[in-house]
Amino acid sequence: MHVRRFAVPAALLLATAAVPALAQPPQPAPTAAAAAAKPRYGDFGLDLAAMDTSVKPGDSFWHYVNGNWDKRTEIAADRTSAGVGVLLADEAERQVRTIVEDLARDPAKSGAIGRQVGDFYASWMDQKAIDARGTAPLKPWLARVDAVRNRGDLIRLFATQGYTAPVGLGILPDPADPTRYIAAAGQAGLGLPNRDYYLLPGAKYDAIRAAYRTYVVQMQTLAGIPDAEAKADRIIALETALAKVQWAPERQRDIKQVYNPMNRAQLAELAPQFEWPAYLQASGLGNVDTVIAAEKSAISDTGKMLDSVPLSTWKEYLAFHFIRTHATFLPTAFDEANFAFYGKTLRGQPQQRDRWKRGVQLINDALGEAVGRIYVERHYPPESDRQMAELIRNLRAGLEARIAASPWMDDATKAQAKAKLAAFDPRIGHPVKYIDYSALKVDRNDLLGNAVRSEDFEWKLQLDRLGKPVDRSLWDMTPQTVNAYYNPLMNQITFPAAILQPPYFDPRADPAVNYGAIGAIIGHEIGHGFDDQGRQFDPSGKLRDWWTPASGAQFEARAGRFGKQYDSYEPITGTHINGKLTMGENIGDLGGLEMAYAAYRRYVAEHGEPPVIGGLTGDQRFFIAYGQSWRSKVREGALRERLLADPHSPPEYRVDGVVRNVDAWYKAFDVKPGDKLYLPPEERVHIW
């Protein structure tokens, strides 16, 4: 579903794990009853059959621990990737389907929310009725575009939910005072994933751009819009002009560049063409005096296009993007054309997902917390809370010890870092209160209307919060999401219920396996508070430089060396990892693994050195579990998109790029000079 949101600068985005595959988390010692049963993987929690021991650990650790799995595993036709995380997401999807269909089956018993869920899902699943209605549901929305007569009308439509704007508006906690909300404006409005797809040379990108033009023509033709070829050329020319002035993703990560609060007079000076009083008023922000102008030059240059580009072209742009962003809610021909470009051509996905699966995702997007409440009741044991709390305590203690022993931080900065660590707010499983969806109107016979009204509902939720103290209890993921995140503005780490179930929580697994797998993921999220972005926020989430110049310089030097390592990796011929774009996630991975290992050694100190199991030492099991936690493979098209736009490195490099900097890994696997991953001690990067 197209939920209207502005393009939040990467420096203010949640730092997620983006988990493609995980194993089991660290646990307290298992009970006798639990120990009597076998873990889900093998005899002690590792999938030994997945390993390819013909590969030297020091040459490619990812292939050593996952090589046989990689050889025998095919990506499902309706997926762009494969891995344990995909299997778990599929499991959560089936569980949510049961909930949705239960609610739909007996709405009288399940009350108002049951009727909303049931009617929304039914409006999606009734494909025959959608096809029978044809383009009739679309016409009123396109008529609003036709009715635009001047720039003021255009600006008001930019502000209307459902329509695409080249500069979008959003609401977030103020980095300068995270106890209050503030409005923000940022670059937006492209049909391709980001600016690079319009600008990079080469046959591959030429082919993508040609396919995109065909798609633009096709969507307009299906909607009955005349002269689609010429309009497609003008729309793409406009988007290309937007792409040329938009900031690169790595630049958006710099909080010092994107945090630009401006009053109305300053906004008018920056980009008067946006007629800010009218734009803000139409967006529901009429009482707002200050707005963060994220990418200043992009906003200014985009404003100039309102002068230079004819109003008629902007209308063509608006009409096309309304169709594009709502294509899945229109007749089959629209849906299939949309998938043919974005799924097959762009991401290499051969087959559209089953309709019920997409319907479950739709409900998760539109009514996710209502379904999540039931999901938690059915699938989240309260015991998980206790175990996760203990895990997090161990990981925090591990990082605190590493901070204290850091050879490059001075005492003043160490004290501030410890204060931030102590202030971490972990949230586990589910929110303490859930969103009330009663104001969302759902019509069983109006799928497109349901989708747009859901977008409007989400925006009004944000508007309702503006002017009130920031609500720290809000969640940015549903309980049924297989992922986790860190929010730098709240100094919070959040682990939804779906990530905290088998095979994640398996008290029967070997502790070394548990610490190496989700222990490193927990550490990853904690570590985001100290990555190149997170370190700029203090214990309360306020943007504040708490570093001494000397320690700050040491951090920058180490991070720079780490970034250069990733710049050298080339997952696709001719396309390298962007070390600056992925810096925060790479630091999170490295810090998370170092933190988890420190926590594991604390566990060993308390419980004694573990025995050799299956010919593997405890330390070996720890690192193998980490490597298997990133057991994932990705289609080339989807991988290309990630390399250009995603702050996460590909899974293989989240293993090999990390372990080669960890001294304990060298000792565990006797990695020597001459091995492909070997780095001399002086070239290994140690940050946290």
Check which CATH number belongs to the domain holding 474 and give it. 3.40.390.10
CATH number of domain containing 156: 1.10.1380.10
pLDDT tens-digit series, residues 237-287: 999 999 999 999 999 999 999 999 999 999 999 999 999 999 999 999 999
Query: Which 8-state DSSP code applies to residue 571?
Result: S
Q: How close are the terminal C-alpha atoms of the chain, in Å?
A: 39
Domain end position, chosen among 311, 344, 363: 311
pLDDT tens-digit series, residues 73-99: 999 999 999 998 898 899 999 999 999
Residue 318 neighbours by CB distance under 10 Å: 25
Domain end position, chosen among 285, 311, 337: 311
What is the distance between the alpha carbons of residues 92 and 239, in angstroms, rounded to a whole number? Answer: 37
Clarify whether residues 85 and 158 are in a common domain: no
Residue at 66 is within a domain = yes
Clarify whether residues 633 and 503 are in a common domain: yes
What is the Cα 493 distance to its own chain's centre? 14
Residue at 241 is within a domain = yes
Residues 110 and 371 sit within 8 Å (Cβ to Cβ): no
Residue at 378 is within a domain = no
* pTM score: 0.92
Domain end position, chosen among 311, 327, 350: 311
Tally of residues, the chain: 688
Residue at 431 is within a domain = yes
Residue burial 367-382, b: 16+ Cβ < 10 Å; e: rest: bbbbbbbbbbeebbee
User: 428 pairs with which residues across the strands?
Assistant: 495
Clarify whether residues 307 and 413 are in a common domain: no
Clarify whether residues 520 and 643 are in a common domain: yes
What domain count does the chain have?
Answer: 2
Clarify whether residues 83 and 164 are in a common domain: no
Residue at 126 is within a domain = no
What is the distance between the alpha carbons of residues 95 and 48, in angstroms, rounded to a whole number? Answer: 29
Clarify whether residues 83 and 163 are in a common domain: no
Residue at 12 is within a domain = no
Residue at 348 is within a domain = no
Residue at 520 is within a domain = yes
Residues 282 and 151 sit within 8 Å (Cβ to Cβ): no
Nearest to 324 by CA among 155, 316, 442, 210: 316
For 351-439, where are the alpha helices, taking DSSP H only?
Answer: 355-379, 383-405, 411-422
Range of the structural domain that residue 278 is part of: 151-311
Query: Which 8-state DSSP code applies to residue 340?
Result: I
Clarify whether residues 547 and 666 are in a common domain: yes
pLDDT tens-digit series, residues 345-381: 999 999 999 999 999 999 999 999 999 999 999 998 8
Q: What is the helix (H) or strand (E) element at residue 591, kind and residue range?
A: helix 583-607
User: Would you say residue 109 has pLDDT above 90?
Assistant: no
User: Would you say residue 31 has pLDDT above 50?
Assistant: no
User: Please, is 52 exposed, middle or buried when counting C-beta atoms within 10 Å of its C-beta (0-12, 13-18, 19+)?
Assistant: middle
What is the distance between the alpha carbons of residues 64 and 57, in angstroms, rounded to a whole number? Answer: 6
The CA dihedral of 654, 658, 660, 665, to the nearest 10 degrees, is -110
Percent of the chain whose predicted confidence (pLDDT) is above 90 = 84
